[in-house]
Amino acid sequence: MQTSTERVLAIFERINAIPRCSSKERALSDWLVGWASEHQLECERDGVLNVLIRVPGTGEAADAAPVTLQGHLDMVCEKTPESEHSFDTDPIRSITEGEWLTADGTTLGADNGIAIALALAVAEDEGIVHPPLELLFTVDEETGLIGAQDLSPDWLRARILLNLDSEDEGVFTIGCAGGLSSLVSVPVSRVAPNSESEFVQLAVAGLKGGHSGVDIHLDRANANVLVARVALDLREKFGATVAEVHGGSAHNAIPRDAHVVLGFNPSRIEEARTLVSTWRRTLSVEYASTDPNLTVELREAERPERVLDDVSAGRLMDILLGLPHGMIRMSREIAGLVETSTNLATVRTSDGKVEIDTSQRSSSEFQLEAIAARVAAVARLGGGSVRITSRYPAWEPETESKILRTASEVYRKLFDAEPTMEVIHAGLECGVIGAKYPEMEMLSIGPTIEMVHSPDERMHLPSIERIWDFLVHLLRALR
């Protein structure tokens, strides 16, 4: 007979067999519609592919007020440089390592596939007493809470929502930061490369990365920043030309890899290699405790047809080095909480421009505007422009809510311990949903997941059993 953890993980593995990168969730959305039909449950889907499944209440809770269980369909698709995994076609391959579940060279997708698995497992278990449930699964959470922002304000009937997107079992998340994404566009001009130039790729790799909200205070290295530091030095000392800059993978992940294609006079290549070796040693010492696997090297590169002219390359390097990155300010009110931060997330080079995607977070609307204005100012000083591509509100804590009181009582009785309350620096859909449903009481919970948004993502298996037991008892208490 399967344990509750095994039942949840069996559903999780079915979910992980379906590719679901952000903006590519149709297959999973279709699967959920099919799952609802198979279980003869009422199901609705909106124009952006958000799914809402209504589950009748059971036992003495059959006529209670409904409760929403909510999670998101998409996952951050990150992999190691050597991985041949295709996120468009291949299933995520899970690996059990002791008490932890991880993946084979990719993100695991526990953020937030485990929420879907928990919700479906509750609906499938006829022995659980629970109120009528609304299983709400949203799209494009990782790219700016897009699915939640497109929710109809009259879709949900419940006035209690349990978000299953937290990552520390035993911790109740009761608030989160707001944020926005600032896309910097730098116009560039191109010229033919010098006929004698030899081209190489300057690559920074092996960084730990991580979630740009949860891990931003850990002062891990940013590949985009480091590659710009080294490239600028190579330009100044050896007159290197710049053909392209490419780094990072997602707006909400601290970039782990970046590269710049550079052209040199062949007589200066060996000197350049020596300088890069010096940089590697320097940066390895600087980030020894946070990024022990950091590498900086020159690799072979194909000769490009065009390179950035000297003015464009100079402006681009100045912007990359001038843009702020990391924790900006700690909260004055809540000990240990990062109030404001910014992530220099991705750099992409095209024919006429280089685009730099940055994301800002803050629990203070005033400070959010201040750091976004600083990003825009640096961009303008370098001849670039900025466009806000997404925005989401903060979730203000409500410490006297019924759901928080009930959840705390259930946790104490079940585990003989006090739950921890926290406000997080990451963005949660609760902020957006709360703005659409002002009377909604919300709480965010989940099993323990570490190193999200990176190939090191892993989920603690014993915490699944605990969160399951807690969720079952909490739903019964809400009758």
187 HSE (CA, 13 A, CB side): 5
Q: How far apart are CA 242 and CA 319, in angstroms?
A: 14
DSSP 8-state symbol, 75: B
Percent of the chain whose predicted confidence (pLDDT) is above 90: 93
**Residues 258, 136 share a domain:** no
**Among residues 88, 113, 102, 91, which one has the least CA distance to residue 32?**
113
**Residues 433, 386 share a domain:** no
Specify the CATH number for the domain of residue 361: 3.30.70.360
**Residues 122, 255 share a domain:** no
Q: How confident is the model at residue 328 (pLDDT cuts 50, 70, 90)?
A: very high
Q: What is the pLDDT of residues 169-217, one digit of tens each?
A: 999 999 999 999 999 999 999 999 999 999 999 999 999 999 999 899 9
Predicted confidence (pLDDT) at residue 466 exceeds the cutoff of 90: yes
Specify the CATH number for the domain of residue 27: 3.40.630.10
Determine contact, residues 400/215, Cβ cutoff 8 Å: no
User: What pTM value is reported for the model?
Assistant: 0.83
**Residues 146, 191 share a domain:** no
Given 347, 374, 392, the domain boundary residue is: 392
Strands 198-205, 258-264: pairing kind: antiparallel
Q: What is the pLDDT of residues 75-134, one digit of tens each?
A: 999 999 899 999 999 999 999 999 999 999 999 999 999 999 999 999 999 999 999 999
Strand partners, 463: none
For residue 334, the model assigns a pLDDT of: 83
Given 392, 416, 434, the domain boundary residue is: 392
Q: CA dist 19 to 16, 175, 451, Å?
A: 7, 30, 20
Determine contact, residues 258/227, Cβ cutoff 8 Å: yes
Strand partners, 69: 135, 162
Determine contact, residues 425/337, Cβ cutoff 8 Å: yes
Question: Tokens at residue 221, please?
Answer: 């290295």
Question: Tokens at residue 6, please?
Answer: 């095994």
Q: How far apart are CA 74 and CA 93, in angstroms?
A: 17
Q: Which residue has the tokens 């399967």?
A: 2
**Residues 433, 299 share a domain:** no
Which residues are identified as catalytic? 74, 141
Percent of the chain whose predicted confidence (pLDDT) is above 70: 100
294 SS3 class: coil
Determine contact, residues 243/199, Cβ cutoff 8 Å: yes
**Residues 402, 382 share a domain:** no
**Residues 245, 355 share a domain:** yes
Q: Which domain holds residue 198?
A: 180-392
**Residues 471, 340 share a domain:** no
Average pLDDT, the chain: 96
395 HSE (CA, 13 A, CB side): 28
For residue 332, the model assigns a pLDDT of: 87
Q: How far apart are CA 316 and CA 347, in angstroms?
A: 11
Residue 473's Cβ-count burial label (10 Å; 0-12, 13-18, 19+) is middle
Q: How far apart are CA 292 and CA 283, in angstroms?
A: 10
**Residues 61, 206 share a domain:** no
**Among residues 354, 264, 247, 329, which one has the least CA distance to residue 300?**
264
For residue 32, the model assigns a pLDDT of: 98
Q: What is the pLDDT of residues 126-181, one digit of tens each?
A: 999 999 999 999 999 998 899 999 999 999 999 999 999 999 999 999 999 999 99
Q: How far apart are CA 52 and CA 105, in angstroms?
A: 32
Cα first-last separation, the chain: 29
**Residues 341, 458 share a domain:** no
Backbone angles phi and psi of 110, in degrees to 5: -65, -30
**Residues 379, 435 share a domain:** no
Rounded average pLDDT over 318-328: 97
Predicted confidence (pLDDT) at residue 430 exceeds the cutoff of 90: yes
CA 71 to chain centre: 14
Given 392, 421, 436, the domain boundary residue is: 392
Predicted confidence (pLDDT) at residue 1 exceeds the cutoff of 80: no
For residue 389, the model assigns a pLDDT of: 92
Number of structural domains in the chain: 2
Could you tell me how many residues make up the chain? 479
**Residues 186, 165 share a domain:** no
Strand order through the sheet with 449-450: 94-97, 100-103, 458-460, 449-450
Determine contact, residues 231/279, Cβ cutoff 8 Å: no
For 48, other C-beta atoms within 10 Å of its C-beta total 16
Helix axes 461-477, 402-415, angle to 10 degrees: 120
223 HSE (CA, 13 A, CB side): 31
